[in-house]
Chain A
Amino acid sequence: MTSTASGGDAELTGLSASELAAKISAGETSSEEVTRAHLDRIAAVDPEVHAFLHVDADGAVEAARGADEARSAGGAASPLAGVPLALKDVLTTSDMPTTCGSKMLEDWTSPYDSTVVQRLRAAGVVVLGKTNMDEFAMGSSTENSAYGPTRNPWDTDRVPGGSGGGSSAALAAFEAPLAIGTDTGGSIRQPAAVTGTVGVKPTYGGVSRHGLVAFSSSLDQAGPCGRTVLDAALLHEVIAGHDPMDATSIDAPVPRVTAAAREGAAGDLRGVRVGVVREFGGQGYQEGVQQSFRAAVDQLTELGAEVVEVSCPHFEHALSAYYLIAPSECSSNLARFDAMRYGLRVGDDGSRSTEEVMSLTREAGFGPEVKRRIMLGTYALSAGYYEAYYGQAQKVRTLVTRDFAAAFEQVDVLVSPTTPTTAFRIGERVEDPMAMYLADLCTIPSNLAGNASMSVPSGLSAEDGLPVGLQIMAPPMADDRLYRIGAAYETARDAATGGTLLDRVPRLEVAS
């Protein structure tokens, strides 16, 4: 494809997952060869990008050989058999550490595989390693990782988004053709938008949370990340589906997202009604982002979609509600990190009480953003404040959900920019939590309502040449609509610009 994927076999690392799967399936290459090419690429560029917290080269090669053996025995496990993947370090793995980007879980290895990982393994997908993230998925820049920030391959002085910046950067740096992210308020979509990659937050309950270390249980959702809509769809079908280990998992057939992506690629959106969310634009939105968004909407119209403006009046309160609900749940979910059973233990010198050891450990083990949210949530749930904060936030959540329901009576999908700005500079928003929180302004409503949502690249912003994302939102369990419209748009955009967006990602210096 292009020379961007240097370090490692550029021809292989430049291919999409579906292309790799086809080559492996046809015997033109092997999973082992593909896996080694990506491991080489990681060795070459990750010292610069720092997308990975842990690379399991031996395990990956072993898994690749297993996939190759299965294929030669005539039994490829899935359409993605043998394709490598980068896994966000918030999903448990029994053969690699799971740190969640926190000192609290440094070197901790889970005794069990998350359901997502079990399904990846069963599908013959090769897990290369674990990717960097904001600590316990709290953040929008990956700067809150206890292990240092990840850099955006488009401009290594800038953030790759967050919390799943490691996964999005790994895709944009051609270190992996597929990745898994998790999205509580935008942690899949916002990184996808600022790295020029595709990210999908499936319907809440669509992908099992068993083994997803919880930040905010009612909002967390794991989902697929890729460089193309089709790749995300193939991965979506591997990881989605009912799981008896997760009580909130939906017991219904998985939406046919791969078929929808293939259908969409034909480029016909006649009969599709698209709603532009009136509230997401204007002040606070970078001009280049707004231009890119308008161009994307025009593109959808050209493809035959009927575009109307839709008002969702309660979306403006979504961010505030989110910053009460998510911290409340987080304050409870993270209580278990107390030094008693696993993870970090500080101050246990025989002279201190249990409470002191717990306290010292949490003081040392959690970073400032995690502490901020634990305190916020503890306060919001306190007697006397519960109704005013948590209770009120739940009411807003209901109103946001109703806004969506009303909108989806008029249109099939809603669209907006994924995030108000392109990638910001490392350090730029560290001292200003509110500015950081605004990165998730457009993505949060979908988490509150539990519906399906995608970010697909919509080009580069005129003023800084950085990627912009188009967000597409669909009703719960209508994930297939995202893929149909996303693939149609992606195909038209690539045709118009004569290549994919990532063809234009700068060549990274290869570490010597």
Chain B
Amino acid sequence: MTAVAEIMDYDEVLERFDPVLGLEVHVELSTDTKMFCGCPNFFGSDPNTQVCPVCLGMPGALPVVNGKAVESAIRIGLALNCEVAEQCRFARKNYFYPDMPKNFQTSQYDEPIVFEGHLDVVLDDGETFRVGIERAHMEEDTGKSLHVGGADGRIHGAEHSLLDYNRAGVPLIEIVTKPITGAGHRAPEVARAYVTALRDLLRSMHVSDVRMDQGSLRCDANVSLSPKGSGEFGTRTETKNVNSLRSVERAVRYEMRRHAAVLASGGEIVQETRHFDESTASTSSGRPKETAEDYRYFPEPDLVPIAPSQEWVEQLRTTLPELPWQRRRRVQQDWQLSDEELRDLVNAGALDLVAATVDAGASPAEARSWWVAYLSQQANERGVDLASLPITPEQVARVVELVGEGTLTHKLARQVVDGVLAGKGDPDEVVAAEGIEVVSDDSALQSAIDEALAAQPDVADKIRGGKVQAAGAIVGAVMKATQGQADAKRVRELVLASCGQE
């Protein structure tokens, strides 16, 4: 297949080239209202129900800046270790497109609100990689075009298009990295880890829903290759439609392999926008640009410059929550975790869940054990995120509590958790409904023990003879007879007592 020939083996890519990445992440802010008008900023309403003369670009309508969005932009900048501009302006980015009501986007050009920062990203093996932040600026989102009649909802071959302007004017922050160099073979991983870290950071700050599936966090991945050791940047491509963390990694990897194949065969990379296809994990050329875009940027005359006072910036700095990496460091100390344990916890996406479970009363070890082991396995089997499992940290904490009280054994606890996951209610309801309970009535246990000893007289003799380790076989038999509903520790005590070995 030609498609295979068009990409180079990944190891060979790295022998010959150094990858250079640039990531542009668009984040929709979860402000109550849009960037320049009072329309609600809410995802999922009926088309064109959240619009007004301003966000529809009606004649005579004027923008007014959403102060909350400016506040979020500054806070994001501070969290990314950026400098905050003493004064900055909005600019108009002029181009015609039907989903953009004014046919210009109100954005920022050469005066971003924050600039020059970095984000330290933890990779899968716990190593930290520093990604430089060039700038973050404020702008408004466009509406959405729905192309009808073509393949995959793309404009090519579409018969007509429908326009929904609910999203037009939603506040966006675009965060642009500096060129990411030196990542080598880990470049795709760095890309994913960066977007993950950014997502976690923004989520902890409550400034955005950061849902890649809903488009409230979107990543454009710029990739170029530099011949090994040359230090010269190659021509880049910009891949869009990268809608999940996994796709970020796959898109970067694919583009590296494709670039390498083109370059190795003496071809030239075309600077273009490429479209990532989730199903094939490959990219295809976007609409070719016949001429270079000239956006004719100029300062937005309808808005006055933004000049955040030093006092305000410092006040906003105090509102930053504990940042994810600071929190991880604290959790590691508080819960006494090894680097490896911490990494497993983070990679499982379980940190928040474990913390909430601990807050609900469980010990860190028990909480971690449930989420990282059994529940992660359940999530995998169902193909969902850990956080999407239908069980709450409070419910997990209650199960832990029931085990601690001796009401449940570990085995029974799993049955209860399964019940919760199956939608049978809270742990206590599952216990009551299913009759799951530790058999703690000694007389009931004693008869089972007597039966087991009678059934295995040779083992009974060994125990009576002082070989207490042989009690395990009897305990096992009793547990089996009671279908696991007995407290194994108590059974063992009773077995030993029955054989005169107290």
Question: B-contacting residues of A (Cβ < 8 Å)?
Answer: 91-92, 98, 100, 105, 108, 110-112, 114, 209-214, 216-218, 244-248, 328-329, 331-332, 335-336, 338, 340-342, 354-355, 358, 378, 381-383, 386, 390
Contact = CB atoms under 8 A, between A and B. Distances in A.
B62 A245 contact: yes
B302 A98 contact: no
Contact of A335 (B58, B96, B303): B96
Nearest to A343: B59
B433 interface: no
Given A114-B60, A210-B61, A338-B103, 17 more contacts: A98-B59, A98-B60, A110-B53, A112-B53, A112-B61, A209-B62, A214-B59, A214-B302, A247-B62, A247-B63, A248-B303, A332-B296, A336-B102, A340-B101, A341-B58, A354-B98, A381-B297
Q: B interface, by DSSP: helix, strand, loop or mixed?
A: loop
B104 A332 contact: yes
Contact of A383 (B92, B101, B103, B294): B294
B333 to A, nearest CB: 48
27 contacts: A92-B60, A98-B60, A105-B59, A108-B59, A110-B60, A209-B60, A210-B62, A216-B301, A217-B302, A246-B62, A247-B64, A247-B302, A247-B303, A248-B301, A328-B298, A331-B296, A332-B296, A332-B298, A336-B103, A338-B96, A340-B163, A341-B58, A342-B58, A354-B98, A354-B161, A358-B96, A390-B298
B94 A381 contact: yes
Looking at A92, A328, A336, which has the most chain B CB atoms within 10 Å of its CB? A336
B212 interface: no
Contacts of B61: 112, 210-211
Interface residues of B, number: 29
Nearest to B94: A332
* Chain A to chain B: the 4 pairs with minimum beta-carbon distance, closest first: A335-B103, A381-B296, A218-B301, A217-B301
A433 B161 CA distance: 41
Given A217-B301, A338-B96, A110 B58 contact: yes
Interface string B93-110: 010101001111000000
Nearest to B53: A112
A338 B98 contact: yes
Nearest to A91: B60
Interface string B58-97: 1111111100000000000000000000000000101010
A382 B161 contact: no
A211 B65 contact: no
B57 interface: yes
B94 A335 contact: yes
B28 to A, nearest CB: 22
B57 A341 contact: yes
B304 A247 contact: yes
Given A335-B102, A338-B103, A245 B64 contact: yes
B56 interface: yes
Nearest to A391: B298
B205 to A, nearest CB: 27
A382 B294 contact: yes
Q: A interface, by DSSP: helix, strand, loop or mixed?
A: loop
B104 A112 contact: no
A299 to B, nearest CB: 38
B65 A247 contact: yes
Nearest to A216: B301
A145 B328 CA distance: 68
A382 B304 contact: no
Contacts of B302: 214, 217, 247-248
Contacts of A211: 60-61
Contacts of B98: 338, 340, 354, 358
A382 B296 contact: yes
A214 B61 CA distance: 9
A342 B102 CA distance: 12
Nearest to A211: B60
Interface in B27-77: 53, 56-65
A213 B60 contact: yes
Contact of B60 (A210, A247, A386): A210
A214 B294 contact: no
Looking at B61, B104, B297, which has the most chain A CB atoms within 10 Å of its CB? B61
Contacts of B56: 341
A91 B61 CA distance: 11
Nearest to A362: B96
B94 A111 contact: no
Contacts of A108: 59
B47 to A, nearest CB: 14
Contacts of B53: 110-112
Contacts of A383: 294, 296
Contacts of B64: 244-247
Contacts of B294: 382-383
B404 to A, nearest CB: 59
Contacts of B161: 354
A341 B101 contact: yes
B298 A212 contact: no
B60 A214 contact: yes
A244 B63 CA distance: 10
Contacts of A336: 57, 59, 101-103
Contacts of A212: 60
A336 B303 CA distance: 18
Contacts of A248: 301-304
Contacts of B296: 331-332, 378, 381-383, 386
Given A214-B60, A245-B64, A381-B298, A332 B96 contact: no
A221 B440 CA distance: 87
Contact of A110 (B59, B94, B163): B59
Contacts of A328: 298
Contacts of B297: 381
Contacts of A111: 53, 58
A108 B58 CA distance: 11
B101 A386 contact: no
Nearest to A378: B296
A335 B102 CA distance: 6
Contacts of B102: 335-336
Contacts of B301: 216-218, 248, 329
A338 to B, nearest CB: 6
Nearest to B59: A213
Interface string B279-305: 000000000000000101110011110
A342 B59 CA distance: 9
A211 B303 CA distance: 15
A114 to B, nearest CB: 6
Contacts of A105: 59
Contacts of A100: 59
A47 to B, nearest CB: 29
A98 B58 CA distance: 12
A209 B304 CA distance: 14
A332 B95 CA distance: 9
Contacts of A338: 96, 98, 103
A386 B58 contact: no
Contacts of A92: 59-60
Contacts of A247: 62-65, 302-304
A154 B41 CA distance: 55
B94 A112 contact: no
Interface in B417-471: none
A381 B60 CA distance: 22
Contacts of B63: 247
B400 to A, nearest CB: 54
B103 to A, nearest CB: 4
A111 B53 CA distance: 8
Nearest to B294: A383
A340 B57 CA distance: 11
Contacts of A342: 58-59
Interface in B358-406: none
A386 B101 CA distance: 25
A194 to B, nearest CB: 27
Contacts of A110: 53, 58-60
Contacts of B103: 335-336, 338
